[in-house]
Amino acid sequence: MDIKNTLKKEWYMIVLLSAPFIASFILWEKMPDIVPVHFNAAGEADDFGPKWINAFLIPGIAFATYLFLLVIPAIDPKKRIENTQKPIAAIRIVISLFLIGVYALVMMKSFDLEADVGQFVLVSIGILIAITGNYMNSIKPNYFIGIRTPWTLENPDVWKKTHRFASKLWIIGGVLMTISAFIPFLKGSLFVIVGAVLILAVIPFIYSYRLFNKLKNFN
pTM over 0.95: no
Q: Decide: 73 and 82 in contact? Cβ < 8 Å.
A: yes
Q: pLDDT at position 158, please?
A: 95
User: Which has the closest alpha carbon to 127: 74, 196, 176?
Assistant: 176
The residue among 7, 3, 150 whose CA lies nearest residue 82 is 3
Structural domain that includes position 93: 1-114
Closest to 143 (Cα-Cα) out of 59, 56, 79, 200: 79
The predicted structure's pLDDT at residue 84: 64
Residues of the chain predicted below pLDDT 50: none
Domains identified in the chain, total number: 2
11 and 35 Cβ atoms separated by less than 8 Å: no
Last residue of a domain, one of 82, 114, 146: 114
Alpha helices (H) in 28-116, listed in sequence order: 51-52, 58-75, 85-110
Is the domain of 107 the same as that of 122?
Answer: no
Out of 94, 114, 134, a domain closes at: 114
Last residue of a domain, one of 97, 114, 131: 114
- Nearest partner of 213 among 172, 152, 139, judged by Cα: 152
What per-residue confidence (pLDDT) applies to 39?
A: 83
